Each structure stands twice: as C-alpha cells, then as structure tokens.
Amino acid sequence: MVITEEKRILSDFVASIPESLFGPDRVGYILENSSKIKDEDKVLLRKFVNKVLTSMIERDASDIEIGGHGNEGYIWMRIHGKLERVKDLPQFTEDEAALIIINLFNSNQKKYIATTRNLDFSYTYFYERRKINVRFRADAYFDLDTLACSIRAINTSVRPLSSLEFHPSTIKYLSHNYIKFGLTLITGITGSGKSTTLDSIVDHHNKFDPAHVIIIAAPIEYVHTSNFCMIKHREVGRDVLSFKEGVVQSLRQDPDIIIIGEMRDPDTIMAALEVTDTGHKVFSTLHTSSATESLERIIAEVNPVEQERVRNRLADTLVSVISQKLVPSLDGKRALAKEVLVITPSVKAAIKNNNLGEIYMMINQGGQLGMITMEQDLKRLYDQKRISLETAITYSNNKTRINQLLSAK
C-alpha cells in the first residue's frame, strides 16, 4: 500500500508539534490543531483509513488496532480470533497514528475524549467492490499517554436465527408472538457474538411480527430496515444521553420490544427490570460467561439493601438467559457454543430463595425445554467433529463436568 502523500501530511503536522510537549500534552496539541489541516488532506487521510478497513474486510478480520504505545508502530488485526501484526501495511509513529485517529472525530467528539479519555463511536464508508456502505464500531482510548483505537467490523448482513442452532423451544421463548413480555439476557465476554445474536432476534421478528422495536445501544451497530416491524435506533451519546434515559423514555414511545445494548450499571439494570415489569419484551446483554454468573452479577450490582427485592423481581421478569462463546473450530474459523437457561417454576424458586448453585443441574436436566449447559454444547460440537478435544476443555466453565461428559461412553 503506497501512501507517500499521506506520510507527507502526517510528517509535516508532526514536525509542527513543539518539542517541549510530552505525553498527553502532545495528544492535546493534536486534538486542538488537527482542524487546521487542509480539507483535501483530511479527505486523503480518511481515504487511507478506508483502504485499511477494506484490507481488514478482505482478510476476514473482525477487529483492527491502530496507534498506542503497545502497537509498536504496527497496525494489528484479529483474524479468526488470532491477533497479529500486519507487516505488509505501513507503520506509524505514535503521533502519526494519533492524528489518523483524531481525523475520524467530529468537533464534539474531540472535546469529549479530551475530558473523558475514552470515546465510543461508529464509522461508515462506501465499500467500492460490493457497492455498499459498511459500518464499524470503534473505541478510542489512551495507552501510556498515547492515543489508540480499536475498530470492529459490523456484519453487513444478519445471520438467520435458525443458523445459530437453538433448540425450537428456545426460539419460542425468544419470540414476541409466543411470550409478549419478560427479560431475556444474552451474555458472554467481549467478542462472543452477543450483538450478532441480538440482531438475529430483531431480524427474526422483522420477517413476520408487526411490532415496534426500539434499539438503545452505544454505539448503534447494524442498522435494520423496517419490514413487518417498525424499528427505531437510538445511539447513546447521540440520540439519547444514557442507557437509563433511553429505557425510561422508551415507555412513552409505544414499544413492543426493547433492545438494551448493555446493562452496564445499577441504574440501567433497575430501569430494565421496571420496563419489563410493565409488560414489555426486553432483550439485553451482560459481560458474563455463564447463566448462573449472570444472575449473580445482576444481584451483586445493586445496593445490598435492594438485593432481595431485585432477586424477586428478576425471578418474576426473567424468561431466559443465553450465555455464549465463539470457540476456534477445526476449519480455522469459529463456532458458537452456548448455555441456555429457561426460567421454569423450579428456577424461579431457586432465584427467589438465593439458591443459585442449584441452577446448573436444572440446566443440565432441562434438555426437553431447550436448556443446555456450556459443557453439553461443547461436547456436541466435539462429537460433530467441529472443534478439537483441547478446545472443548479449554472453553468449558466447569472442567470437572466437561471431563466427565467427554469420558462417558
């Protein structure tokens, strides 16, 4: 990738930074003075980013890392789960990378990151080869006083819900037509496909259900086109100030289904439970690796004096929990492994009585209702020869249980 002109623009600007400035003051100078670059040079730098993102798409990478002390001048990509330096792309100094990143911000975003030291934002460009707009979600942050940016590709199409291999009973619990109310949690670590699953659920309803869907996210990733559903997208920080406000305001917007991108704080958790209490179907995500851990996390997030009340409300409003992982598959890609909890009367009683330790065995024995433990699903993938034995063991939550399952005849 030849970028002679882009390098000249970057070098000229970096040469203007006073030598007396160090660390965050250098980034501050770039934030304050980047607007002085000629418009045609700003366009050229953006076109370079678009070329890098095109390279990312064509390598089938999910994430890209630009800038920051830890990058050592390289652009890094995560390809099928493996993070690596991309040695055939240009290298940049920390100052040059900071200018490339800052050139993606608008004036409000520059002020925001200067104050908060972090910025979530979305980015879109026109992908010539396929003649479509492609979207990315990005997070800009500081790494040892240098500016870094992590960018993730957003799927240009939605995977059919049927392709995620849920039990038919699980699909029923997810369906607004089958249950008009209640909370469903999609959980997993970062990069486990939670957003993909949420988008598949929205798309599933959009094919047949005349429902009003409100999506509250930071940032908005995949943009749905209304079909049978009317779908509204509200980006936190742009269309609404916070998740909590988005949830509270949604009650006055005649919703049927509310998608909360993440229950990241006690206020959002309480708002989600309240809006579910009013008879709406709500879907949200949590950064937890198992169904039981998800319940513990929600209860632990709130004030101890509120925990018993929240435990009872959670038991009454929760419909199902799906915890998922993307695990390396034998074809060099990744496979979806998941744990599914359906809230039966027994599970409800266990939550209310604070006997969460009993729930794993209920999932283990609830296969006819669509329930499955992470260990059972990893064994299924291993038996289908889609993942290795080592992967099944490595990604299990319960090592004793996975070894029992794998050794059983």
pLDDT of residue 201: 97
- Spatial distance between the Cα atoms of 257 and 250, rounded to a whole number of angstroms: 10
409 pLDDT above the threshold of 60: no
The rounded distance, in Å, linking the Cα atoms of 152 and 31 is: 23
- What single DSSP character describes residue 105? -
Instruction: Provide mean pLDDT across the span 108-127.
Output: 89
pLDDT score recorded for residue 316: 95
Contacts with 269 (C-beta within 8 Å, 6 or more apart), sequence order: 263, 298, 301, 302, 310
Looking at residue 374, the DSSP 8-state letter turns out to be: H
Asked if pLDDT for residue 240 goes beyond 90, the answer is no
Of 120, 141, 127, 4, the C-alpha closest to 65 is 141
The predicted-structure confidence for 270-311, as pLDDT tens digits, reads as follows 999 999 999 999 999 999 999 999 999 999 998 899 999 999
Looking only at the bridges linking them, the beta strands covering 318-328 and 182-187 are parallel
Is the pTM above the cut of 0.75?
A: yes
Tens of pLDDT, residues 180-224: 999 999 999 988 999 999 999 999 999 999 999 999 998 888 899
**pLDDT tens figures, 321-367:** 999 999 999 998 899 999 999 999 999 999 999 999 999 999 999 99
Q: How many CB atoms lie within 10 A of CB 72?
A: 10
> Would you state the pLDDT for residue 190?
84
Task: Quick: pLDDT tens for 17-41.
Answer: 999 999 889 999 999 999 999 999 9
Separation CA 225–CA 231 (nearest Å): 7
Give me the residue label for tokens 């209310």. 352
242-266 pLDDT, tens digit each: 899 999 999 999 999 999 999 988 9
Mean pLDDT of 141-147: 95
Do 48 and 66 contact (CB within 8 A), yes or no? no
Residue 370: which pLDDT band, with cuts at 50, 70 and 90?
very high
Domains of the chain, start order:
4-153 (3.30.450.90), 161-407 (3.40.50.300)
What residues contact 290, with CB distance under 8 A and at least 6 apart? 187, 323, 339, 374, 397
